[in-house]
Structure formats: structure tokens, C-alpha cells
Structure 1
Amino acid sequence: MILITFKPREGFAKHFQKQKVLREAFARHFIATKTIFKLLTFGGLSVWYLIDLFLIMGATKRKNMKKLEEIVRK
């Protein structure tokens, strides 16, 4: 197996950290907004159940891909 590595440019880690903070802030805002809508609409008459189902599927796929990457890199 051939492993290709690269050296990131200067400041790359700092830029990546800023992006991570922005993504986390957006995710927190989205979760809080969704929770408020759920409370106001009494669960959205089960519409939120379907939305949560798709969000969980996406999160599960990302987590599984991350684990697979860790296994492959070892």
C-alpha cells in the first residue's frame, strides 16, 4: 500500500480551527432552534421525527467513515 503524505502550509491548522469553531457554533444554533420549534409545535406532528431520522443517518455515516479512516491509517 502506498501512503501519500503532505506537509500543510503555514497557518493551515489555524484556518482549520476557525472553520471548526464556526461549524460547531452553527450546529449549536441549529439544535437550539430545532428544539424550540419542537416545543412550540408539540413535536411538529411527527414531522421532526422524520427530520431527526435523516440527520442521525448522516451523523452515523460520518462517524463510521471517520473510524474507517483511523483503521486504514494504522
Structure 2
Amino acid sequence: MSREFDGAMWRKSSRSLNGNAECVEVAVTARSVGLRDSKDQGGPILVLDTQSWVAFVGAVKRRGLRP
């Protein structure tokens, strides 16, 4: 786990149901945004700089995720 996210507040979508095992959690620090699998909280973290995170969220809002 990245030391940058030690003690970070992780959150997941309010649309995520309690029994849903397919969730992604997000944590924001001063420098970056981390994404992890909610089932494997000690596992790897995908780290994005804030500019990349904003671009990603904007793209999803505009047109959704398409292959």
C-alpha cells in the first residue's frame, strides 16, 4: 500500500449496496487520488494525479465509459 494513503479517508459510491462485492473505493490526498478494490483494502492502489482524475471524471460524465 502506498504510504501516501496511510490514514486516508476512503469512500465509495452511495449507490453501492451493502452486499455488492464489486466496489471501488476512492481517497483524495493533497497531491493525488487513489483507487482500490473494496474487497482487497490492503492490496494495490491505482494512484492518479489530480489533473488526471478530473479529466477521467469529466470524460465519464460527458459520455460514459466505452471500449
- Please indicate the TM-score interval, normalised by the length of the shorter structure: 0.3 to 0.5
Larger Rg: 1
TM-score under structure 2 normalisation? 0.34
Query: Which has the larger share of helix?
Result: 1
Query: Which has the larger share of strand?
Result: 2
